[in-house]
Amino acid sequence: MRIEQHPILGPLPEAREVTLRVDGRVVTAREGEPIAAALAAAGIRVHRYTAKRSEARGILCAIGQCTDCAMIVNGVANVRTCITPVADGMVVETQRGVGRRSEM
């Protein structure tokens, strides 16, 4: 799902590979990109489930305003994955519900 060649943007620039663990699964990412980019590239579209009806949510605004992409990152809930860059060894989990309750 990565765009390797683009008529205007050119070839995908080189980037150091970093490794994430997403719900236990190894996902490779490009250093500097937001977590949500790595997930999208890996075909992972569901980021969380809502508190009341457990409905799936994924990227909606992609610029940090709507919070639909929020996940638990390194144990911290409600992290907006569309604006938070990846880091090597980062642990990303599908969030169920909101806030501290989802970390339990």
Rule CB under 8 A: say whether 12 interacts with other proteins.
yes
Any contact of residue 24 with other proteins (CB under 8 A)? no
- DSSP letters, 32-82, are TSBHHHHHHHTT----EE-TTT--EE--SSSSSSS-TTEEEETTEEEEETT
Residue 37 binds other proteins (CB under 8 A): yes
- Interface map 52-81 toward other proteins (x if CB under 8 A): ---xxxxxxxxxxxx------xxxxxxxx-
Shortest Cβ 83–other proteins spacing (Å)? 6
DSSP letter for 14, please: P
Task: Please say whether the beta carbons of 79 and 73 come within 8 A.
Answer: yes
Q: Which residues bind other proteins (CB under 8 A)?
A: 1-9, 12, 33-34, 36-37, 40-41, 45-47, 55-66, 73-80, 82-85, 87, 90
